[in-house]
Amino acid sequence: MDDTSRIDKARGVLFGLALGDCLGAPFEDKVGVTDAHIVAQENAGDPLTHTDDTALALVLSRHLAHRRGDAREPSDLVDLDQLATEFAAAWHAEPWRGYGGGVTKSFRLIVEGTPWRQAIRAVYPEGSFGNGGAMRVAPVALVGADVAQVAELARRSAEVTHAHEDALHGAVCQAVAVHAALALAPDEPVRAGDFVDTVRRAVPSPLWQDKLDHVIGLVERQAGPAEAAEVLGNDVSAPGSVPLALLSFLRNAGSPSDAVRFAIRAGGDTDTVASMAGALAGAHSGYAAWPRNAVSRLEAAAQLHLYAEHLA
C-alpha cells in the first residue's frame, strides 16, 4: 500500500471513530430513531462535539505517536504507568465528556495519587467489564505490525482502566477487526465469514465465540438494527456492544455512513457502538468515503488529521 492510501485509511479510522461518537451521542438510549433523524444531525450547522470515546482515543493516539521514536520492543509503544496518568489527566481536564461511573471514580483516585492498579479495582473488585477499553482502542491497529502485536497493544492500552477479562477481549476484538479492515482495499468486498474468523482466533473465550457465531448468523439473514440489538445487546458492557459494532460494519461494508446509522438505530450505547462501527468502516473505505460536510465540522478535526499522519 502506498503512503497516500495508508494516510487515507488512518484518517478513515480516526475520523470514523470521532464521527460515530459525535453523531451517536445525542441518540443514547433513544428508541424510534430513523435515518432521517441521523441525516439531520449530519447536516446540522453546528460543530460536532465528541464524548469520552474520542477524548481518550486522542490521548492514546498522542501516546503512541510520542513513543514511536523510543520503543525498542513493540510492547514499549504502550507505557502502562504513563498511559494511566494521561487518561486520568484527560478526565480531570474535561470531566463533563460523559465518562462511565466506574472510571470516573478510578480516575479521581489516580489524580489524587492512588496507584492505578489499586484505583481500577476500587469500584469493581474484578475489574470493569465496560466497553471503555474497546471504544478508544482503534489507534493501536495503525501501529501494530501484525495481529499478535495489535492484540498485545490492545490489551495493554485497555488494562490501565479495565481489569476484567471481557473488557480486554472487547479491546482485542475491536483492534484486530480494525487491523483486518485496514488490510482490505477500499473496493474489495468484505467476506464476513473470513473476517470474523480472523477476529475469532484473537478472543478465545466461550462467551466471545458465541457472540461472534451470532454475528455471522445475523449477517447471513441480513438482520436489521432492532434484531441485532436484541440478539447481541447494545449496552455499555464490552460483550454487549463490540459485537454489535462489528455487525453494523459487516452489514454495511463499503458504505460507512450506513454503518454508523445502523449502529445508532440499534439504540442503547449509541455513541460507542457507532464510534466503533465508524472506526471499522473508515479502516475499510478510507477518509474519502466520509461525508465532507460532517467530518469538517468535527471538534477535533485538526488533531485527528495530525495523529492519522503520525500513526500511518
Q: Per rule CB under 5 A, is residue 8 in the interface with Mg ion?
A: no
Q: 114 touches which of ligand R7I, Mg ion, none (CB within 5 to 8 A by kind)?
A: none
State the amino acid at position 205 in one-letter form.
S
Contacts of 96 (CB under 8 A, 6+ apart): none
Round to whole Å and give the CA distance between 4 and 209: 36
All cell numbers assigned to 214 = 451470532
Q: 102 touches which of Mg ion, ligand R7I, none (CB within 5 to 8 A by kind)?
A: ligand R7I
Q: Per rule CB under 6 A, is residue 101 in the interface with ligand R7I?
A: yes
Round to whole Å and give the CA distance between 250 and 212: 12
Nearer to Mg ion, 7 or 304 (CB): 304
Q: Of 53, 159, 166, 235, which lies in the binding site for Mg ion, with binding defined by CB under 5 A?
A: 53
Q: Per rule CB under 6 A, is residue 20 in the interface with ligand R7I?
A: no
Contact in structure between 228 and 266 (CB atoms under 8 Å)? yes
Task: Return left, alpha or beta for 268; rule: phi > 0 is left, psi -120 to 50 is alpha, else beta.
Answer: left
Q: Of 8, 79, 159, 271, which lies in the binding site for ligand R7I, with binding defined by CB under 6 A?
A: 271
Q: 130 touches which of ligand R7I, Mg ion, none (CB within 5 to 8 A by kind)?
A: ligand R7I
Q: Of 54, 61, 174, 272, which lies in the binding site for ligand R7I, with binding defined by CB under 6 A?
A: 272
Q: Per rule CB under 5 A, is residue 51 in the interface with Mg ion?
A: yes
Kindly indicate which of the ranges 4-12, 117-125, 203-211, 262-270 contains the residues binding Mg ion, using the contact rule CB under 5 A. 262-270
Total residue length of the chain = 312
Q: Per rule CB under 6 A, is residue 166 in the interface with ligand R7I?
A: no
Instruction: Choose among 50, 22, 49, 53: nearest CA to 38.
Output: 22
Round to whole Å and give the CA distance between 161 and 181: 26
Q: 262 touches which of Mg ion, ligand R7I, none (CB within 5 to 8 A by kind)?
A: none
Q: How many CB atoms lie within 10 A of CB 305?
A: 18
State the amino acid at position 157 in one-letter form.
S
Residues that bind ligand R7I (CB under 6 A): 51-53, 98-103, 124, 126, 128-132, 135, 236-237, 269, 271-272
